[in-house]
Amino acid sequence: MSGAETAQEKRRVYIDKQSPAAYRALVATSEAVRATAEKAGLSRTLVELVNLRVSQINGCAYCLDVHTRAALRAGDTTRRLGVLAAWRDAEVFTAQERAALALAEATTRPADAQLQETSYALARSALSEDEIAAVIWVAVAINAFNRVSIMSKHPVRAVPAQ
């Protein structure tokens, strides 16, 4: 191939568009996860905190954009969202949210055995078994969507001034 790539050669394959049946299955899984979280009693703000923290760890700009807006619609504040990356050092999160964030991080970094044990112990102290299962499923689902968006290089476009 020559040194000058065409726009088509540079553009990533949007795997959600290329394989729509697989993507629809992922969306259906996400809907089941949302229902699981609701049934377990997880608030929409807690679910969005998990979605955002996992997306921060994975560096998924597209999912960060989507879930920041979702968290704000759910009633979270810019202050809390602004310190989410340093949640351990911020006193604005509840014990339940801290446990969920720790568990989400452990789910996202499964090779870290110490993180797994510490996070699971914290989760056991602040979350019910249904809540633990729901948080893990939320983290699993957003990790999957992060990979779809990262590998497809889904864009975050500027919003025109209103």
**Is residue 9 scored above 60 in pLDDT?**
no
Residue 108 in domain: yes
What are the pLDDT digits (tens) for 41-76?
A: 999 999 999 999 999 999 999 999 999 999 999 999
Residue 130 in domain: yes
Helix axes 129-152, 20-40, angle to 10 degrees: 150
Share of the chain above pLDDT 70, in %: 94
Whole-number Å distance between alpha carbons of 61 and 160: 18
CATH of the domain at 146: 1.20.1290.10
Residue 10 in domain: no
Q: DSSP alpha helices (H): ranges in 11-112?
A: 15-18, 20-40, 44-58, 61-73, 78-82, 95-108
**Is residue 6 scored above 90 in pLDDT?**
no
Contacts of 125 (CB under 8 A, 6+ apart): 95, 99
Residue 28 in domain: yes
Handedness of CA 146, 148, 149, 151 (dihedral sign): positive
pLDDT of residue 77: 98
Summary mean pLDDT of the chain: 94
**Is residue 124 scored above 50 in pLDDT?**
yes
What backbone phi and psi angles, to 5 degrees, belong to 67? -85, -20
Query: Mean per-residue pLDDT for 25-47?
Result: 98
Residue 107 in domain: yes
Residue 74 in domain: yes
Burial 116-131 (b: 16+ CB within 10 A, else e): beebbebbeebbeeeb
Please count the structural domains in the chain. 1
Of residues 32 and 160, the one with the higher pLDDT is 32
Residue 6 in domain: no
**Is residue 1 scored above 50 in pLDDT?**
no
Q: How confident is the model at residue 161 (pLDDT cuts 50, 70, 90)?
A: confident
CB 58 within 8 A of CB 108: yes
Residue 109 in domain: yes
Q: Of 9-18, 37-46, 137-146, which gets the smallest average pLDDT?
A: 9-18
Place of tokens 């009633």: 75
Domain that holds residue 143: 19-152
pLDDT of residue 85: 98
